[in-house]
A and B are shown apart, each in its own frame.
Chain A
């Protein structure tokens, strides 16, 4: 099987599903690029290059460049979804949902329930997340807790290329609004990815590394970080299990609880300010449903309660970094 990057895996999924289903369209800013310009159209393929070649294959009726108008992009996607298309809207950086959040949480998320089950809203909002890109306070956030708390949205956080493809295909074949969060620091990471289509059901987490001493639950771009720390700890005889929930809504509580039942210890790694984070949320679930399994208090490694700072030294300290993850694990291991 060939290795593919996270970027290529998403492109593969979109391309093969667009071939299969003519109702899938893409809309967003510079998803093609070059419209109205003197040179070539379609050369951008979205600013991180995820949509490369799609304009060439599917043309301007299906790969639609929009003005810079996030409310109208997401709202139009919701309206098109409600009336028979399957739009994939792009919000380049998740930070920009501030401009269009009404269309997401008051509109798209609510149609199915609010209209008494009569409506389907098969749409995807793709957005990039994460710090570490030196992009400053308004281009570096993650926001997954914000989406996760909204009933009616499915929230996907792929941590590797294999999952990225399977989760995208699942989203494209479903009937509900999906927030698909792409980790911008993972675009070039590669794993083996099948050429053919496959689906990964939402709400099915994955044990990314087996271990018996402690459970690390990490989300999206924090999964590879947790895995790297687990390897370091293994040299000291600490055998950590790493759980990647893959989707935060629906959330696979069982895989997390089963792991904690085995290890008795839990550290959460979440790139988010601490309050109302996924870390806080999962800690509460485990404290409730897994209390008897716990041998030590649960610890979380999150960001501080601040905006994302620009200076690289500050940003590196802001993110859950290997030093802080390792320290949390060691503290939990010491407790008895």
Chain B
């Protein structure tokens, strides 16, 4: 499917926003402005953006601990995200969630999730709602290669097949779950095969190439929207950094890290669209410039923002003791 110039610009805009946002997160984390942990999405931009490109605000996604990229791909506001990650008032969850719990229901973003394997069952429920209410919308469950070993994920896949709901299981295989390689932890080696064994179609897509992901997702959407039940994608990608910002990564060689960086989805996208004369390099440069300003503004705003009001501690509960 040929994308329009505007659509291509939007895809690059989102991928570059993720890149700039996560690089800023890395920097602000090191500067002590981000409490807790930060798991960044650097290197996986084409995956989230390719998957979410044709989704509307009414389509749902359930995310993971590595959720910033999914949020941006689904259209969440970067200032609201930065405020949230820094634990400030005005954050997308009022500062009560943090990096691992960003959610924006108005964008169909059902939350990052700090429990590995937490999202797929929830995404099945969200898909059930779509089927029940005949909305024609789909629900996407993001998981990693590590999460593909969690029982909740198996149960969710099987139930999605049994209930024939429009759920798309997206497995972002970046080769690692924390500090353990997928080649060690994923018995049988193929996540796509696992999904197939539950009785849904599954394909493997090159997560470095936005177009490959987008096309595979197109087939998944067609399948789900036609009422044929769930679909799975195993997206092969690279994790540029460690598991979290600051991970010393002695378990990866320098060569491997270099190889990961060489598989960068952003230059590949630029190359493809400029060589095909779909977009000019200058147009892409202009997008980058605007985004850097936006991310700078988000970071400055978040650093300067006040913390949440102490009164919010006991807000949104039904009982106090």
* Interface set of A (CB-CB < 8 Å, partner B): 29-30, 33-41, 43-44, 47, 65-72, 95-96, 98-99, 133-139, 273-275, 304-306, 309-314, 317-318
Q: How far is the CB of A305 from chain B (nearest CB, A)?
A: 5
Asked whether B147 lies within 8 Å of A314 as measured between CB atoms, the reply is no
Asked whether A38 lies within 8 Å of B179 as measured between CB atoms, the reply is no
Asked whether A68 lies within 8 Å of B101 as measured between CB atoms, the reply is no
Complex Cα distance, B248 from A288, in Å, reads: 54
In the complex, chain B residues whose CB is within 8 Å of the CB of A138: 100-101, 113-115, 118
Tell me which of B36, B117, B183, B312 contacts A99 (CB under 8 A).
B117
Tell me, yes or no, whether B267 is within 8 Å of chain A by CB.
no
Q: Which residue of A lies closest to B319 (CB)?
A: A305
Of B7-15, B252-260, B284-292, the one contacting chain A is B252-260
Asked whether B150 lies within 8 Å of A40 as measured between CB atoms, the reply is no
Asked whether A39 lies within 8 Å of B251 as measured between CB atoms, the reply is yes
Tell me, yes or no, whether B308 is within 8 Å of chain A by CB.
yes
* Interface set of B (CB-CB < 8 Å, partner A): 35-37, 87-88, 93, 95-101, 113-118, 146-147, 149-152, 176-187, 249-253, 255-256, 307-308, 310, 312-314, 317, 319-321
Q: Which residue of B lies closest to A92 (CB)?
A: B178
7 A-B pairs with least C-beta separation:
A36-B184, A36-B181, A34-B251, A310-B98, A134-B35, A67-B149, A134-B36
- Select the residue from A39, A71, A135, A305 with max chain B CB neighbours within 10 A: A39
Complex Cα distance, B320 from A306, in Å, reads: 9
Q: How far is the CB of B296 from chain A (nearest CB, A)?
A: 23
In the complex, chain B residues whose CB is within 8 Å of the CB of A67: 146, 149, 177, 180, 185-187
Asked whether A37 lies within 8 Å of B100 as measured between CB atoms, the reply is no
Tell me which of B88, B114, B180, B317 contacts A35 (CB under 8 A).
B180
Asked whether A33 lies within 8 Å of B319 as measured between CB atoms, the reply is no
Cross-chain pair count, CB within 8 angstroms: 169
Q: Which residue of A lies closest to B91 (CB)?
A: A311
Asked whether B179 lies within 8 Å of A69 as measured between CB atoms, the reply is no
Q: How far is the CB of A302 from chain B (nearest CB, A)?
A: 9
Complex Cα distance, B177 from A44, in Å, reads: 13
Extra contacts besides A29-B180, A34-B250, A67-B180 (14): CB < 8 Å: A29-B177, A30-B178, A39-B249, A41-B251, A69-B150, A134-B87, A136-B99, A139-B114, A274-B321, A306-B317, A310-B95, A311-B87, A313-B310, A314-B96
Asked whether B180 lies within 8 Å of A38 as measured between CB atoms, the reply is no
Complex Cα distance, B87 from A314, in Å, reads: 9
Complex Cα distance, B150 from A133, in Å, reads: 25
Asked whether B308 lies within 8 Å of A30 as measured between CB atoms, the reply is no
In the complex, chain B residues whose CB is within 8 Å of the CB of A47: 178
Known: A136-B101, A314-B96. A98 touches B115 (CB 8 A): yes
In the complex, chain A residues whose CB is within 8 Å of the CB of B250: 34, 39-40, 43
Asked whether A310 lies within 8 Å of B87 as measured between CB atoms, the reply is yes
Q: Which residue of B lies closest to A65 (CB)?
A: B180
Q: How far is the CB of A281 from chain B (nearest CB, A)?
A: 15
Complex Cα distance, B150 from A67, in Å, reads: 8
Known: A36-B185, A136-B97, A274-B321. A317 touches B310 (CB 8 A): yes
Asked whether B100 lies within 8 Å of A314 as measured between CB atoms, the reply is no
Known: A39-B251, A312-B307. A136 touches B182 (CB 8 A): no
In the complex, chain A residues whose CB is within 8 Å of the CB of B116: 68
Q: How far is the CB of A15 from chain B (nearest CB, A)?
A: 21
In the complex, chain A residues whose CB is within 8 Å of the CB of B253: 38-39
Asked whether A314 lies within 8 Å of B115 as measured between CB atoms, the reply is no
Q: How far is the CB of B67 from chain A (nearest CB, A)?
A: 12
In the complex, chain B residues whose CB is within 8 Å of the CB of A99: 115, 117, 150-152
Asked whether A310 lies within 8 Å of B97 as measured between CB atoms, the reply is yes
Tell me which of B87, B146, B187, B251 contacts A68 (CB under 8 A).
B146
Q: How far is the CB of B154 from chain A (nearest CB, A)?
A: 10
Q: Which residue of B lies closest to A305 (CB)?
A: B321
Q: Which residue of A lies closest to B185 (CB)?
A: A67
Asked whether B178 lies within 8 Å of A135 as measured between CB atoms, the reply is no
Q: How far is the CB of A255 from chain B (nearest CB, A)?
A: 28
In the complex, chain B residues whose CB is within 8 Å of the CB of A312: 35, 87, 307
